[in-house]
Amino acid sequence: MRIPAVTHPPSRNTIFSESARVLAHEALPGSQFLLRLQTPRIAEQARPGAFVHLQCHPELPMRRPMSIMRADTGAGSIEILYKVHGAGTARLAQRQPGEMIEMLGPIGVPFKLQDYRRFPLLIGGGVGIPPMVFLAEHIRKTHAECHPLVLMGSEIPFPFRARPSRIMISGIPPGVIATMPLLEDWGIPCRLASLHGYAGCYEGFVTGLAKHWLDALAPERHRVVELFCCGPTAMLEAASRLAQAYGLPCQVSMEEYMACAVGGCAGCTIPVATDSGPAMLRVCVDGPVFDGACVFPPP
């Protein structure tokens, strides 16, 4: 096992400190919010899997890491989808259009940006949904020959109004037809999973839905599939084990609490397997994207 070469290595010259203007701030179901920010330098350098470290409120000095869901280089803006989880995000939820938010970004090693297999499988769980939207959009714009499938799981209401999909997907159980409208409008197939009986969703874990799809593929098709995942650690491990069982490449985006977010404090380290033995790497700048088999080595 080895840690693959970084396809878009982070650089101190591409992490910016910006005062971002709040352009829009929309409340969504499940105490979730969609925040759109004017931040030209960060938008220009943002890549799928990167994040920003933002100050939720001027009275709260500690910043919070937030994944980037979309970046519009023409408009110089980014979108962040987040859930209120504590005092900091509760204060962030009160910020109004026109206010300024201090932030650093984009930070971290992104998902790979090229040389995709023909059928990328993108799995997002909860707060891991935003990077999958960013990655799906990147693949759509840069690799027309690729056909990504996006699977999303959530134990709270999804942060969008799901609708029945008109895109047929072989291998998906009957009745599992709910999709994210944004991806549907892009022509990207998507299906949803939950344990709460939401209409049109797969009743179970999102990795279980992924297994249904993989099981339905002819064995020779596995050679053109690879996994990309972001979400809770248990989900990432399950997805990595699934990839190992089918012999598929897998990249996972890890989530950890962090203080500085630029590699100085080493408070976000995780154990990984390398060619030279176990090592501790920082999620903020050595990740957040890692090879799944390095973080979750085969038994």
pLDDT value, residue 209 = 98
Q: How many domains does the chain have?
A: 2
Residues 136 and 69 in one domain: no
Bigger pLDDT: 237 vs 2: 237
Residue 6 lies in a domain: no
> Could you tell me if 67 and 191 lie in one domain?
no
Q: Which residue has the tokens 């979750």?
A: 296
Which residue spans within 149-234 are E strands per DSSP? 149-153, 163-164, 178-179, 190-194, 202-203, 225-230
169 pLDDT exceeds 80?
yes
In a domain, 275, yes or no: yes
Question: Which tens digits make up the pLDDT trace of 42-88?
Answer: 999 999 999 999 999 999 999 999 999 999 999 999 999 999 999 99
Tell me the two tokens of residue 194: 């939950």
Supply the range of the domain harboring residue 69.
12-107
Provide the CA 155 distance to its chain's centre, in angstroms. 16
Average pLDDT on 164-168 reads: 96
Q: Which residues contact 43 (CB under 8 A, 6 or more apart)?
A: 71, 72, 73, 75, 76, 77, 78
| CATH number of the domain bearing residue 86 | 2.40.30.10
Q: What is the mean pLDDT of residues 32-45?
A: 97
pLDDT in tens, 1-26: 444 433 444 445 679 999 999 999 99
In a domain, 98, yes or no: yes
CA distance 85 to 96: 19
Same domain, 30 and 174: no
Q: Are residues 129 and 261 in the same domain?
A: yes
239: part of which helix (H) or strand (E)?
helix 233-246
- Domain annotation covers residue 200: yes
13 CB contacts (<8 Å, ≥6 apart)?
Answer: none
| pLDDT for the residue numbered 277 | 87
**Domain shared by 139 and 66, yes or no:** no
Of 80, 107, 134, the residue that ends a domain is: 107
Listing DSSP states for 83-103 in one string gives: E--SHHHHHHTT--TT-EEEE
Going by pLDDT thresholds of 50, 70 and 90, the confidence category of residue 115 is very high
More confident residue, 136 or 11: 136
Whether residue 139 is found in the same domain as residue 36: no
Within-domain flag for 146 = yes
CA dihedral sign of residues 194, 70, 290, 105:
negative
Same domain, 145 and 267: yes
Strand partners, 16: 105
Q: Which of 107, 136, 157 is the last residue of a domain?
A: 107
Whether residues 258 and 184 fall in one domain: yes
Instruction: Report yes or no: 200 and 161 within 8 Å, Cβ to Cβ.
Output: no
4 belongs to a structural domain:
no
Q: Give me the pLDDT at residue 13, please.
A: 65
Q: Are 102 and 124 members of one domain?
A: no
85, 107, 129: which is the final residue of a domain?
Answer: 107
Clarify whether residues 155 and 288 are in a common domain.
yes
The verdict on 151 and 87 lying in the same domain is: no
Q: Say what percent of the chain tops pLDDT 70.
A: 96
Asked if residue 141 belongs to a domain, the reply is: yes
CB burial string 197-217: b at 16+ within 10 A, e below:
ebeebbebbbbbbbbbbbeee
Q: For residue 265, what is the domain's CATH number? A: 3.40.50.80
Structure tokens at 89: 């995000």
Let me know if residue 113 belongs to a domain.
no
Give the separation between CA 169 and CA 184, rounded to whole angstroms.
12
- ∠ CA 282-286-292, rounded to 5°: 95
DSSP state of 156: S
For residue 198, the number of C-alpha atoms closer than 13 Å in the C-beta half-sphere is 25
User: Same structural domain for residues 157 and 214?
Assistant: yes
